[in-house]
Amino acid sequence: MAQDLYEILEVDKNASDDEIKRAFRKKARTLHPDVNKSPDAEDRFKELNEAYDVLSDPSKRNHYDRYGTVPGAASGPGAGYVDLEDLFGGGFGMGDLFSSFFGGGMGRSANVRREGRDMGVGLTLTLEEVAAGVKKEIIYDRLAPCPECDGTGLGEDGEEITCPECDGTGRVVTVQHTFLGDMQSATTCPNCQGSGVVIENPCPECDGQGRVPDRQRLSVEIPAGIHDGQQLRMSGYGEAGIRGAESGDLIVTCRIEPNEYFRREGNDLHVTTVISMVQAALGADIEIDGIFEDEVVQIKVPKGCQYGQVVKVKNHGMPKYGSDARGDLYAHIEVEIPKRLSKRERELLEELAEEMGEDFAEARTPLKKLRNMFN
């Protein structure tokens, strides 16, 4: 490290983490090789990243302050970029990010996109949450309206003026002299990136873009009965537009975790219910927990209920999306055969077998006999 890291970032020795982050963002925007075409831009961008890598990490910074060296610097310069996606938020690549900072397209397209783009996030929900409906907080990174200038991009005494380079057309005509004669071609105005306007005295926080990378917290009301993969569109919560242009939307894709007990099919719920062999033979009214907290569902097991039989309980499934109605619950009955019998129980069962005219003496185990009896 030939140069002082604080000098590279142009911050004070006792700058706060926030100030360091801000300084880095600001310099990164001007030094990124996609943007800055000067020959040393890439090296300076690397240098900037290395300085930020150290100063943004409290333990590395501490080490640097004490010893003036970079911990683990053996790997030398170019040891790796700071994860810019991390800094500016995941979900979009660095190229995207920088092109969005600069109005998109950097000479690739004449039409400058000023509106913010839609963004997507995933949200995982439990089946219980889906049944009841839930309010969830989503934390995500986006280009948000700049708080410093309220998204206008204007600094103190700043104003938007017609770009003098292109007279507001957003395009400039260049003439190339070729052996076939002069050839004219129109390209995007480099001064205003095609927007036709430039900012005089831009906001220093956002460099006149009216938006800055920021971490957002958004409370989202998830309606009951939503389905796996269903999407909610949060209007205006996507990427902010340039200088107050319309923001994109945030699209929340709901994912529902598998439930330990209930299996959902459409609006119906399926559940496995274990009963005793006596309940299966005689029939029984049993209670199981429903999908709602404190909900108790009564299941009427008919006499002579068979293993695998399905008992339907109306209106105890999932709530239907956008309605008060509910689907049905299907209890899949399993019959538990006792693994151990007391002497008395065994006697009674043998008596029962006799009564039912079954020759249990040939059976090797009472268990096998019982299976035969009830199946």
- Counting residues that bind Zn ion (by CB under 5 A) gives 12
Q: How far is the CB of 192 from Zn ion (least distance, A)?
A: 3
Of the two residues 7 and 167, which places its CB atom closer to Zn ion in the complex?
Answer: 167
Q: Which stretch binds Zn ion (CB under 5 A): 147-155, 230-238, 321-329, 342-350?
A: 147-155
Is 106 a binder of Zn ion (CB under 5 A)? no
Q: How far is the CB of 32 from Zn ion (least distance, A)?
A: 19
Number of neighbours of residue 85 by Cβ within 10 angstroms: 15
Tokens of 20: 């360091």
Q: Which of 128, 148, 160, 246 is the binder for Zn ion (CB under 5 A)?
A: 148
Of the two residues 49 and 193, which places its CB atom closer to Zn ion in the complex?
Answer: 193
Alpha-carbon separation of residue 371 from 72, 122, 337 (angstroms):
70, 49, 8
Is 9 a binder of Zn ion (CB under 5 A)? no
Residues 177-206 touching Zn ion, rule: CB under 5 A, are: 189, 191-192, 203, 205-206
Of the two residues 99 and 193, which places its CB atom closer to Zn ion in the complex?
Answer: 193
Tokens of 6: 């604080």
Q: How far is the CB of 210 from Zn ion (least distance, A)?
A: 6
Q: How far apart are the C-alpha atoms of 44 and 22, rounded to whole Å?
A: 17
Q: How far apart are the C-alpha atoms of 104 and 98, rounded to whole Å?
A: 8
Of the two residues 192 and 275, which places its CB atom closer to Zn ion in the complex?
Answer: 192
Q: How far is the CB of 164 from Zn ion (least distance, A)?
A: 8
Residues 34-73 touching Zn ion, rule: CB under 5 A, are: none
Q: Which of 149, 254, 269, 335 is the binder for Zn ion (CB under 5 A)?
A: 149
Q: How far is the CB of 172 from Zn ion (least distance, A)?
A: 7
Residues 205-224 touching Zn ion, rule: CB under 5 A, are: 205-206
Residue written as token pair 């299941």:
299
Q: Residue 287: what residue type?
A: E
Q: Where are the alpha helices (DSSP H) in 56-144?
A: 58-67, 84-88, 94-101, 127-132
Q: How far apart are the C-alpha atoms of 116 and 84, rounded to whole Å?
A: 20
- Give bridge partners of residue 93 from the DSSP assignment: none
CB 209 within 8 A of CB 25: no
Is 20 a binder of Zn ion (CB under 5 A)? no
Q: Which stretch binds Zn ion (CB under 5 A): 62-70, 101-109, 159-167, 292-300?
A: 159-167
Residue written as token pair 């957003």:
170
Is 329 a binder of Zn ion (CB under 5 A)? no
Is residue 219 classed exposed, middle or buried when 0-12, 13-18 and 19+ CB atoms within 10 A define those classes? Answer: exposed
Residues 235-294 touching Zn ion, rule: CB under 5 A, are: none
* 340 contacts: CB under 8 Å, gap ≥ 6: none
| 77 HSE (CA, 13 A, CB side) | 11
Site string for Zn ion, 163-182 (x = CB under 5 A): x-xx----------------
Determine phi and psi for 156, rounding to 5 degrees.
-65, 130
Chain positions contacting Zn ion, by CB under 5 A: 146, 148-149, 163, 165-166, 189, 191-192, 203, 205-206
